[in-house]
């Protein structure tokens, strides 16, 4: 008798969602660092056209496709996402699990719908992980009741930034989340440090031979560069209705400067940021003696941190910022950032002007 055909294992596709700044990239980087022998393919969706998330993940994984400038959740049809999933599920990529990091304004149910509608037989929907910012959840939920729905459909809720709240707030939040999504596991975590086994089966690490080398970002990317262009909702003339989407009311403002940025002027800008400007992320180059390294910057609501790190060899010294907010005056914000630029011929500020920045620095 002929043996029954062995079912081909399908690659689970996990959606990693959560509101702006909740800690999705941090969690994804944690997973990538702790994946053992499991090869993770990542799809990263930045809201702004400067791909800050993609840059923050790229160093950790080489099997990644990146989609900037708009929410993947409102791609008109599924072919764009299918293209990404096809690349990552090619046998040569030897990927075990695919994680889609949604933009902080994406509608997870739309992404799930797209995965379920995919023609790709090599993949299977692997669940929704919703990251919740423990410190901001109450305020965010009040502004965006839609978030309740995201939590309700999650398969796993990560109550992130647990380090920023006390025991009582934690108990209250756990009770609230249990009410929103009865029966769904909720895992408190700091800096996204969850056990990867909660999301996928981890394989023991193989020896790093050429044969099992991860596909390089370029391998995947260069094959079809055009595929990496996102569908920008702001330019959407397809008649699809995104008005109920979280991102409908938000806009992103980008700033790039090859000239160094003046630390005092930047701190003045940051200290006076308007309330509607919920999220700032990117990298800053101050160029001041003793502080020439790369400063990642993150603002989430009132929270502000700089993270000094090294520039990659030959990396261009650039300041690249994405600001995301609603009801903000984009022109005024752009003008404010322009004032931070050190103009050609202007002497660089002295070292002590970095103090304002260093107060918010975290190693």
Ligand X SMILES: Nc1nc2c(ncn2[C@@H]2O[C@H](COP(=O)(O)OP(=O)(O)OP(=O)(O)O)[C@@H](O)[C@H]2O)c(=O)[nH]1
Q: Residues interacting with ligand X, by CB under 6 A?
A: 18, 20-26, 53, 104, 160-161, 163-164, 190-192, 279, 281, 298, 300, 305
Pick between residue 54 and residue 123 the one whose CB is nearest to ligand X: 54
How near is the Cβ of 164 to ligand X at its closest, in Å?
5
> 127 vs 301, which CB is nearer to ligand X?
301
| Spatial CB neighbours of 29, under 8 Å, sequence gap ≥ 6 | 56, 57, 60, 192
Q: Sort strands 156-160 and 186-188 into parallel, antiparallel or unpaired.
A: parallel
Token pair 């764009």 is found at: 80
What Cα–Cα distance (Å) separates residue 302 from each residue in 253, 272, 275, 330?
Answer: 18, 11, 9, 19
Q: How many CA atoms lie within 13 A of 268 on its CB side?
A: 12
Nearest distance in Å: CB 292, ligand X: 22
The residue (of 273 and 298) whose beta carbon lies closer to ligand X is 298
* SS3 state at 252: strand
Residue 3 CB partners (closer than 8 Å, separation 6+): none
Encoded tokens for 60: 């950790």
Residue of closest CB approach to ligand X: 104
Using the structure block, give the residue that is written with the tokens 């950790």: 60
Output the smallest distance, CB 281 to ligand X, in A.
6
Q: What are phi and psi of 291, to 5 degrees?
A: -135, 40
Q: Is residue 111 within a helix (H) or strand (E), and if so which, with residue range?
A: helix 108-116
Q: Give the shortest CB-280-to-ligand X separation in angstroms.
A: 9
Report yes or no: 121 and 10 within 8 Å, Cβ to Cβ. yes
Cα 194 from Cα 68, distance rounded (Å): 27
Cα gap 320→327, rounded to integer Å: 22
- Least distance in angstroms from the C-beta of 104 to ligand X: 2
Q: Name which of 104 and 126 has its Cβ closer to ligand X.
A: 104
Separation CA 129–CA 332 (nearest Å): 36
By the 10 Å C-beta count (0-12 exposed, 13-18 middle, 19+ buried), 84 is classed as: buried
Between 236 and 304, whose beta carbon lies closer to ligand X? 304
Between 215 and 280, whose beta carbon lies closer to ligand X? Answer: 280
Min dist. Cβ of residue 73 to ligand X (A):
13
Nearest approach, Cβ of residue 306 and ligand X (Å): 9
Minimal distance, residue 102 CB to ligand X, in Å: 8
Nearer to ligand X, 164 or 203 (CB): 164
């Amino acid at each position: 008798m002929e043996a029954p055909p062995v079912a081909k294992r399908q690659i689970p596709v996990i959606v990693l969602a959560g509101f702006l700044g909740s800690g999705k990239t941090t969690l994804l980087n944690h997973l990538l660092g702790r994946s053992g022998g499991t090869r993770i393919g990542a799809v990263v969706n930045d809201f702004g056209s400067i791909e800050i998330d993609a840059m923050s993940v790229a160093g950790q994984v080489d099997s990644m496709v990146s989609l900037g400038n708009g929410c993947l959740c409102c791609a008109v049809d599924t072919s764009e996402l299918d293209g990404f999933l096809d690349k990552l599920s090619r046998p040569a990529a030897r990927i075990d699990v695919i994680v889609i990091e949604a933009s902080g304004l994406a509608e997870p149910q739309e992404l799930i719908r797209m995965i379920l509608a995919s023609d790709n037989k090599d993949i299977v929907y692997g669940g929704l992980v919703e990251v919740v910012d423990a410190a901001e959840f109450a305020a965010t939920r009040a502004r965006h009741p839609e978030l309740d729905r995201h939590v309700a459909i999650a398969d796993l809720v990560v109550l992130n930034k647990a380090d920023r709240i006390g025991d009582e707030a934690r108990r209250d939040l756990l009770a609230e989340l249990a009410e929103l999504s009865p029966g769904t596991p909720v895992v408190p975590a700091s800096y996204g440090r969850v056990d990867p086994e909660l999301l996928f089966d981890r394989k023991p690490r193989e020896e790093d031979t050429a044969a099992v080398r991860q596909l390089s970002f370029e391998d995947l990317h260069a094959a079809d560069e055009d595929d990496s262009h996102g569908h920008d909702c702001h330019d959407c003339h397809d008649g699809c209705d995104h008005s109920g989407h979280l991102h409908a009311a938000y806009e992103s403002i980008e700033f790039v400067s090859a000239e160094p940025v003046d630390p005092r002027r930047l701190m003045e800008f940051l200290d006076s940021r308007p309330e509607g400007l919920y999220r700032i992320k990117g990298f800053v180059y101050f160029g001041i003696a003793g502080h020439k390294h790369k400063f990642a910057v993150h603002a989430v609501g009132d929270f502000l941190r700089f993270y000094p790190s090294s520039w990659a060899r030959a990396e261009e010294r650039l300041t690249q910022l994405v600001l995301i907010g609603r009801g903000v005056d984009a022109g005024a914000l752009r003008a404010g950032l322009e004032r931070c630029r050190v103009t050609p011929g202007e002497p660089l500020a002295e070292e002590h002007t970095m103090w304002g920045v260093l107060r918010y620095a975290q190693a």
